[in-house]
Amino acid sequence: MGIVGSATNALHRRDGRLWWSPAAKAIDDNAGNRGNAGRWIGNAQRVERTAEGGIISGVATCVRDGSRCDCAHLLAYRPRASGPSAGTVDWSVWKGAENLPIALMFTLRPAQAATVPAHLGRATHAAVLRLIGNADPHLAAQMHDDAQVKPLTVSNLLGLPTRSKTVAVTPNTAYGLRVTLLAPALEALAANWTVAPPDVLDLDGTDWQVIAITGDPAVHPWAGQCSYESLATPALARAASDPPTRWTLEFAAPVTFRQRGMNQPLPTADLVFGSLLDKWNAFAPLALPEEVRRFANECMAVSRFDLRSLAEPTKSGAWQIGAVGRCTYTATNRDRYWLACIDILAHFAFYSGIGAGATRGFGRARLLSGV
């Protein structure tokens, strides 16, 4: 039984990860002929259909980039047109699919009147690491020392005017701190924080009382919680019918990128979606192919923008430039597979942040709907 043309996309496990690609377009269970996806060829050893005919599973040996790899499982996704399982994917093959990225909003008040730096991104990052260290010192040390993609973002203290170097604060005014967590070990800590918030955070020598912590979007628009499955599945369903071709992102904090040893403050499509791809593949159970970066570079254009530059101080005292505002990205290629990948990443931006410095106040972003 060949599966060419019977599915639009596929999931397969490789190197302990679950990968999604147009494999089903390229695999014939006997001939192993290369299909229009051009990335995977191989022979399916077993193909099974569910009663609804929505998920085709099997085992295959594939060829990728000229080298052989064994796929322990292959799930070919064929979107259902209607019913309770419309547009769904069987995530049960990956035991980590229950991961829930979470965005927490802290409400803080200074314990007493004080004059504080207007830019406290490094101080808020240090305070959050201390919170993590109180529960798991090894995890906090690993996150501090690890040069790889970080599984969290930490905002500057929200509500502070940033046009001067220092600002006067009083207990009469509440301020915000946003923390997003992308890995299971951190998500477990978040549950404890919301139930029993810490009393005080030390930010650069000033004590701030923690009034509340919420992950409820009904309480604050920058709070939320959503599984990786819930981020990906709607995009798969949209790709099956009428996939979006335009996305408007709001950069609420300066966004900048490290490129060739320099900071690049212009949020071009390849840099934005390349950054999102790096974070998604670092933490999500469903990994997307590196070719997404190429699609963003070659098949997406900025169609509208309202951006301005904003500077934030670095540890050395130098100023780092980033862009804030809105930018709309439009796909010039209507391939549904790649549009679904971009759509997943655009929704993920709310939790992951974009670009460099997301652990110290940079890169806070979200997808805007109806724009």
Q: Does the pLDDT at position 73 exceed 70?
A: no
pLDDT of res. 194: 86
More confident of the two residues 188 and 209: 209
Which of 38-52, 72-86, 166-180 is predicted least confidently? 38-52
How many whole angstroms separate alpha carbon 117 and alpha carbon 203?
Answer: 10
Amino acid at 359: T
**What's the CA dihedral at 55, 36, 17, 296 to 10 degrees?**
-120
Average pLDDT over residues 310-329: 87
Contact 311, 258 (CB under 8 A): no
Residue holding tokens 């890995």? 183
Amino acid at 257: F
- For the whole model, what pTM was predicted? 0.79
pLDDT of res. 169: 96
pLDDT of res. 359: 93
pLDDT of res. 338: 95
φ, ψ of residue 299 in degrees (nearest 5):
-125, 15
Which domains are assigned to the chain? Answer: 9-77 (no CATH), 102-214 (3.30.70.1890), 229-368 (3.30.70.1900)
Q: Does the pLDDT at position 141 exceed 90?
A: no
DSSP 106-165: EEEEESS-EEEES--HHHHHHHHHHHHHHH-HHHHHHHHH--S--SEEE---BT---SSS
pLDDT tens profile 152-162: 999 999 999 87
pLDDT of res. 239: 84
pLDDT of res. 187: 83
pLDDT tens profile 344-358: 999 999 999 999 999
Q: Does the pLDDT at position 77 exceed 60?
A: no
Question: CA-based Rg of the chain, rounded to a whole angstrom?
Answer: 22
Q: Does the pLDDT at position 144 exceed 70?
A: yes
pLDDT of res. 319: 84
For residue 133, what pLDDT band results from cuts at 50, 70 and 90?
very high
pLDDT of res. 98: 58
For residue 91, what pLDDT band results from cuts at 50, 70 and 90?
very low
For residue 167, what pLDDT band results from cuts at 50, 70 and 90?
very high
3-state helix, strand, coil in the chain (%, to 5): 25, 35, 40
Q: Does the pLDDT at position 89 exceed 60?
A: no
Mark out the alpha helices in the chain (DSSP H runs).
Answer: 23-26, 121-135, 137-145, 184-195, 228-241, 269-283, 291-299, 336-352
More confident of the two residues 76 and 285: 285
Average pLDDT over residues 313-326: 85
Q: Does the pLDDT at position 211 exceed 80?
A: yes
Residue holding tokens 């050395």? 316
Average pLDDT over residues 143-172: 88
- With CA atoms as reference, report the closest residue to 251 among 314, 305, 179, 323: 323
Lay out the sheet containing 67-77: strands in order across: 41-49, 55-64, 67-77, 9-14, 17-21, 286-287
Contact 152, 196 (CB under 8 A): no
Which of 81-95, 172-186, 256-270, 342-356 is predicted least confidently? 81-95
CB count, 10 Å around CB of 368? 13
Q: Does the pLDDT at position 127 exceed 60?
A: yes
What's the whole-number average pLDDT of the chain?
78
For residue 36, the cross-strand partners are none
Residue 29, C-beta contacts closer than 8 angstroms, at least 6 positions apart: 1, 2, 3, 43, 44, 45, 47, 58
